[in-house]
Chain A
Amino acid sequence: MAQSSASNVTHRSGVLPAGAVAPNFTLHVTPDQTLTLSDLLGRPVILAFYPADWSPVCGDQMALYNEILPEFRKFGAELLGVSVDGSWCHDAFAAARHLHFPLLADFEPKGAVARQYGAYRAVDGVCERALFVLDKKGIIAWSYCSPVAVNPGADGILQALEDLPK
């Protein structure tokens, strides 16, 4: 059920589908450090593109994932948040929300990585709410694009992690 709705949405929004190789990238994770996706080969990776830091709700998407981090880690998975905010902004946001996972700045050229994943909203100049679960080999095992106003939660991610070959 989750799968069929995910594939419909994938079709509509054009995010990279399951089976595609996840495009490699290097992005700033702090003002003076970068992270390269291929360095994480060998374990599952969750890429969570989201529109912006500082959304004004309790338990926004990143704060929610922060709470669920122990569940993700049971699968040995790394969670990476990605938005077009700069790394100084991410720093302040992560500190304010006590986030325990990296936020990547798809800042310059703006949204370049999101575009490669089909997860950029050109009309608004921000990332979509798009989720990707990559297997150990860097292949997309599951992807989902949520309506931008709807926090997708974590059930799809957990299901996808569970469905990964052991």
Chain B
Amino acid sequence: MADKLRSSVEAESIRPVLPLATAQPEPAAGSAASPKHADRRAYQKAIGQGLRKYFNAVVSEPIPEEFLDLLNKMDQDDKDGSK
């Protein structure tokens, strides 16, 4: 872990990348209200809800202690380094 901490970062590679690609047309929001279409819409919506449920289930997990240990170690390494 300590070796990883000391390894160098490629600074530029982690700069947020701004959108460059040209805009694509949005998928057409169907207005034809056939029952089949409505079912499909409901299913698509349910997929979105299901994915959110999965995401939130992981979000609500307690954070393992190793994450805090890592933060404390990085903090300490900074302090040791600046002495």
Q: Do A and B bind each other?
A: no
Using a CB–CB cutoff of 8 Å, the interface residues on chain A facing chain B are none
